[in-house]
Structures are given as C-alpha cells and as structure tokens.
C-alpha cells in the first residue's frame, strides 16, 4: 500500500470533511466552507490544502499557509489530520514534509501547528522538531438537553440586534472585529486593516450565520458581538466574541453570546462548540457558566525553519 500527498481537488470536499470530522469532531466544517476558503484565500496567505491518499482513499488532510494578517512576517501554519485507525502509515509525516517545503519556498521562518494533547500526537510533533508554546481547550454545550441559563435582558440603553441587521453596511461590525482581534492574545497576532478583504473572507463566508450572530448596540454604536458559525444543520461554533475597548467590563460580550446561543437553540441547533485558551480564566469561567464542558485540549507547537 502506497501513500501519496497531493493538492486538494474540488471533488475531494466530502472526503476532506469526513477525515476532518473524524479526527477533530469539535470543529464545524462543511464541503462548501472548505471550497470557499481555498477559492477565496488572500494571495499573501499562500494557502494550500493537501490530501494524503492511500490506494485511492483519502486518509489525511492538511491546511497550510502564511498568517498574512500578522504584523510579523513569515509566520506559517500547518494543521495535519489523519483518519483515526489509519495512522502509522506515513501519511502524517508526508503531509508535514510537503507543507514545510511549501512554506520554506514562500518565505516562512516558522511553522505553527495545533496538536491534540495526547501522547502519540505530541510525540509525533516533538519528533519533528516542534516545541510546545501554549494550549487551548475545546468545549461542548449540549443545546438540546443541557441547561442553558435563561436569556438575559439587556440593561437600559443597550439593544440586541443580529448581524443580519447590518447587511446594508457591515463596516461597524468590521471595526468591532478589528479592535477585538487586535487585543486577542496570540503567538501569531493579527491586524485586520483591509475592509474589502474582511467582506470577502469573513462577512461572506458560508459558515457565518448572520441571523445567529448577536450584536450589542449602545446608543447606536456597536459595542460587543458574538459571531456564530454553523453547518446549517445541527452544529454551532462560537467564532469571535469581543467587545470594543470603550465598552468593556460591562458584561456586553456575555449578553451577546447568551442571545446568540438562545437563538441557535430556538433554530434547532443541538451542539455548540467553542475554543478557550487554557490560561484565559475569565473566559473559561463565562463558558462554564453557560454550561460548556471541556471535551478535548490542543497544544500549540512551533518549529523554526532554516
């Protein structure tokens, strides 16, 4: 049996999602989203999707590219996944090697990857020269049978809207997203400065559910928001939840997230997922309050190229 690695083709979308869901069931992924992200990737992202194929069957995938929104140039990423039960065949090693060659060729000086906090996965990364840098939890909330706290009423002067209400002019949401993203702790920080790029890759992303994305507005100004990404069926993922600097410490992000989760449950979504840095105690406490439970942990690893 021979394993080969090649570039993703549109016909691979269903198999790509099958592998990704099996290896990382906590993320919301659909064939449409995979194809959209590849077709619409920013040129500076140098984005590639790789598949590992064994005798005609896709058993591994990898997302590879440059964190082009980072103010520090040359920060690459590679996130490989192998179908459970098909590890040990060389698919992961070949995916990583192919990804590193691509990244080195386009000027990357470092490669970041997320690795499940399991002995075999961590050993795989460390054997290839990757060292751990930080960690994050995946959390799950059972919307169908769990106990979601009652919907919060907005305080005086605060109005709850949805992203759909900004369809004619989403720029206020872009500005709130940019400010929140700039303050988000990360080993590859991002700066959102290109509104047209944001429209193309965030606002128009097929996974963004504008009706479930809740926005807290104060005196006509966007103050906080909680973005919702879904598979259009039963699975919901909390994207960025953020508050503009002038409105922080007023519970507005929690208010928006509560509203979004209740909207999702009413719309028939049964499983909500989110991510949380392990050292972000305040956000972990908020997610615990909502009823989220840790279901897995990933460790961020990095390797210097050259």
pLDDT at 1: 66
Same domain, yes or no: 191 and 78 = no
Question: Is 279 within a domain?
Answer: no
Residue 215 in any domain: the answer is: yes
Residue 144: both structure tokens together: 């169908």
Per-residue confidence (pLDDT) for residue 63, from 0 to 100: 98
Residue 85 lies in a domain: yes
* 274 part of a folded domain: no
Measured distance between the N- and C-terminal CA atoms of the chain, rounded to whole angstroms: 33
Q: Residue 141: is its pLDDT beyond 70?
A: yes
Per-residue pLDDT band at 152 (split at 50, 70, 90): confident
Of residues 152 and 74, more confidently modeled = 74
Sign, CA torsion 149/153/157/158: positive
83 and 173 housed in the same domain: no
Q: Rounded mean pLDDT of 217-227?
A: 97
Measured in degrees and rounded to the nearest 5, phi and psi for residue 198 equal -65, -40
* Rounded CA separation 133/91 (Å): 25
- For position 70, what pLDDT does the model report? 93
Q: Print the domain residue range for 244.
A: 144-269
Q: Give the total number of structural domains in the chain.
A: 2
Provide the mean pLDDT of the chain: 95
Task: Compute the average pLDDT of residues 22-44.
Answer: 95
Q: Is 216 helix (H, G, I), strand (E, B) or coil?
A: strand
Is residue 242 assigned to a domain?
yes
* Percentage of residues in the chain having pLDDT higher than 90: 92
Instruction: Indicate if the pLDDT at residue 280 is higher than 90.
Output: no
Is the residue at 234 inside a domain? yes
Q: Are strands 110-116 and 75-82 parallel, antiparallel or unpaired?
A: parallel
For 87, 125, 162, the CA distances from 130, given in Å and listed in that order, are 19, 5, 41
Specify if 289 maps to a domain: no
Distance CA 65, CA 67 (A): 7
Average pLDDT over residues 278-302: 94
Same domain, residue pair 97 and 148:
no
Whole-number pLDDT of residue 269: 98
Same domain, 102 and 162: no
Residue 55 pLDDT exceeds 80: yes
Q: Residue 91: which CATH number?
A: 3.40.630.30
* 3-state percent helix, strand, coil for the chain, nearest multiple of 5: 35, 30, 35
Query: What's the confidence (pLDDT) of residue 176?
Result: 97
């Amino acid at each position: 049996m021979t394993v080969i690695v090649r570039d993703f083709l549109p016909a691979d979308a269903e198999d790509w999602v099958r592998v990704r869901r099996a290896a990382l069931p906590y993320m919301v992924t659909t064939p449409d989203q995979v194809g959209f992200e590849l077709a619409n990737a920013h040129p500076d992202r140098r984005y590639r999707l790789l598949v590992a194929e064994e005798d005609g069957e896709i058993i591994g995938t990898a997302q590879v590219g440059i964190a082009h929104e980072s103010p520090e140039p040359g920060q690459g990423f590679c996130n490989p996944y192998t179908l459970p039960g098909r590890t040990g065949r060389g698919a992961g090693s070949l995916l990583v090697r192919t990804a590193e060659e691509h990244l080195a060729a386009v000027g990357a000086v470092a490669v970041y990857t997320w690795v499940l906090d399991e002995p075999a996965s961590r050993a795989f990364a460390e054997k290839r020269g990757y060292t751990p840098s930080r960690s994050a939890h995946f959390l799950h909330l059972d919307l169908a049978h769990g106990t979601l706290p009652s919907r919060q009423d907005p305080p005086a002067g605060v109005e709850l809207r949805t992203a759909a209400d900004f369809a004619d002019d989403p720029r206020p949401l872009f500005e709130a997203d940019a400010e929140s993203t700039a303050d988000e702790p990360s080993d590859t920080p991002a700066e959102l400065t290109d509104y047209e790029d944001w429209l193309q890759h965030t606002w128009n992303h097929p996974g963004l559910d504008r009706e479930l994305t809740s926005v807290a507005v104060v005196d006509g100004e966007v103050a906080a928001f909680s973005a919702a990404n879904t598979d259009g069926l039963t699975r919901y993922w909390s994207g960025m939840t953020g508050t503009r600097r002038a409105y922080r410490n007023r519970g507005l992000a929690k208010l928006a997230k509560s509203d979004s989760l209740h909207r999702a449950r009413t719309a028939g979504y049964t499983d909500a997922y989110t991510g949380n840095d392990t050292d972000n105690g305040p956000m972990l406490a908020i997610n615990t309050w909502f009823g989220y439970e840790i279901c897995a942990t990933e460790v961020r690893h990095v390797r210097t190229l050259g």
